[in-house]
A and B are shown apart, each in its own frame.
Chain A
Amino acid sequence: MLKFIIKIYFIFSLGGLFAQQAANDSLKSVKKPFKLNKFNLRAGFDIGNFIYGKTQDLGRYNFYLDSNLYKDYYLIFHFGNEEYLFDNTLIEMSTSGSYAMLGIDYNLYDNWPGMDNQIMLGFSVGKASFSNTLQKYRINQSSDVFPSETIISNKEFDNLSATWMEIRSAIQVELFKNIYVGYNISLKYLLSDKKYPDFELTYIPGFRRVNSNSSYGFGLQYFISYRFKSR
């Protein structure tokens, strides 16, 4: 039980991350030949956005697969399907689509023997394909002499696509044997998007909210994960 509490505490504590590093450095002086790690695969599900989506009646399914291929380097593949609804009373627009993201995570944390937790820095590039539907709109006017009626449009903007890159920090804690909880925070930069005239993107699956004034985006995910094969 105490171990469990310590692990929970670890999730929220970034203090003293690097305290153990100095001791280990002196042991690494012997150069080892290049050797891949034993096969391992971890799969995660974004429980935070899934629950948030449920409360808004939107489907949010985000997954990742990662594998500790070499030393502290992880190959990581994110993918998912997301829905979003933009509604500022003037326009109501829904977005839905899928994305995939491939990247590398580097684990900064030196574990004690028998433990497998990570504090990661990562880089990924992502691509999404999605569609938008302008469900309804109301003409924007400052006067109320002639009322703006809500107009049902259901106009589709489909075959949209976008690419972006992101840097990310992530924490993973092995809570029980082979079961991990963790989160990641990402800063994203939109590289390209395909769009229509007379239209503006509100959301890109995987990238999240699109800002009118900048190419930057922000992501936060809470994961629960399972490692299929322990090392």
Chain B
Amino acid sequence: MNYKKSLFFVIASLLLLLACEKDDVCLGADTPKMVMRLYDFDTHELKPASDLTVVALPSRDSLYKNISTDSLAVPLDINQDFTEYVLTENNNPDTLHITYTRSLFFVSKACGYIMFFENLGVEVKPDGNLWIKDVEIIENQIKADTSAHVKIYH
């Protein structure tokens, strides 16, 4: 009879130990992305770009490939103060030069450190055949990626 009690006690102790392990799983916060919404140049209404491909420079894997969307969320380079993206619509590539300053932000021991981007600047590199007509920054601090930071008119 008593061995059952002993066993119970040993198991209960082990469970207590296990229950107190790991609370270091991150739920939520990571480095925010830059959110761009695409608008019609004339009407200023949301307008999706068709057959859109998005690639970061120097040439990496495409983030978006041949899609039709009016909303893009792209990561910024955490290792330097600028990032370049090539947005190709219908085989017409336009290059966005994005500048910013970086600041390190501590979230928690579980989520560690993330990067905030401030003083955001976006310009389209001239190439003679631009499908992007204008760029407007509506939020020059990137601390969350739940709302748009940049409007792109096309």
Q: A147: which B residues are within 8 A, CB to CB?
A: 79
A86 touches B109 (CB 8 A): yes
List A residues 194-231 near B (Cβ within 8 Å).
198-202, 209, 211-213, 217-218, 220
Q: Is the CB of A145 within 8 A of B110?
A: no
* Chain B nearest Cβ from A12, distance in angstroms: 4
Within 112-141 of B, Cβ neighbours of A (below 8 Å) are at 112-115
Residues of chain B having any CB pair with chain A under 8 Å: 1-2, 5-6, 9-10, 13, 16-17, 19-20, 23-24, 26, 29-31, 33, 56, 60-61, 63, 75-79, 83, 104-115
Closest to A16 in B: B2
Known interface pairs A140-B30, A141-B30, A220-B16; A90-B75 also in contact (CB < 8 Å): no
Chain A interface SS verdict (over half): loop
Which residues from A are CB-within-8-Å of B13? 185, 220
> Shortest CB–CB separation between residue B15 and chain A, in angstroms?
11
Partner of A213, one of B17, B19, B23, B107: B23
Does residue A15 face the partner (Cβ distance < 8 Å to B)?
yes
Given known contacts A140-B26, A145-B63, A185-B16, A88 and B75 CB-to-CB distance under 8 angstroms: no
Q: How far in angstroms is the closest Cβ of chain B from A60? A: 15
Q: Is the CB of B108 within 8 A of A212?
A: yes
A14 in complex: contacting residue of B9, B24, B79, CB < 8 Å: B9
Q: Which residues of A contact B109 (CB under 8 A)?
A: 86, 88, 91, 93, 200-202, 212
Known pairs A140-B26, A141-B78, A218-B17 / 6 extra A-B pairs, C-beta < 8 Å? A12-B6, A90-B111, A137-B113, A138-B112, A209-B23, A218-B19
Knowing A12-B9, A90-B26, the reply to whether A140 touches B31 (Cβ < 8 A) is: yes
B6 surroundings in chain A (CB, below 8 A): 9, 12-13, 15
Q: Which chain B residues border A141 with CB–CB below 8 Å?
A: 30-31, 75, 78, 114-115
Query: Is there an interface contact between A212 and B29, defined as CB atoms closer than 8 Å?
Result: no
> How many interface residues does A have (CB within 8 Å)?
36
**Is A86's CB under 8 angstroms from B24's CB?**
yes
Bound together, the chains give a CA A143 to CA B31 distance in angstroms of 9
B79 close to A149 (CB less than 8 A): yes
Please judge, given known A-B contacts A88-B112, A212-B109, whether A143 and B75 are in contact too, CB under 8 Å.
yes
What are 9 of the A-B contact pairs (CB < 8 Å)?
A: A13-B9, A86-B24, A88-B110, A141-B30, A143-B75, A148-B78, A209-B20, A212-B110, A218-B16
Please tell me if A146 contacts chain B, counting CB pairs below 8 Å. yes
Residue of B nearest to A11 (CB): B6
Report the minimal beta-carbon distance from A147 to chain B, rounded to whole angstroms: 8
**Complex Cα spacing A111 to B55, Å:** 78
Chain B hits for A86, CB < 8 A: 24, 109
A139 to B75, CA, bound (A): 13
Those of A164-206 within 8 Å (CB) of chain B: 185, 198-202
Residues of A within 8 A of B76 (CB): 146
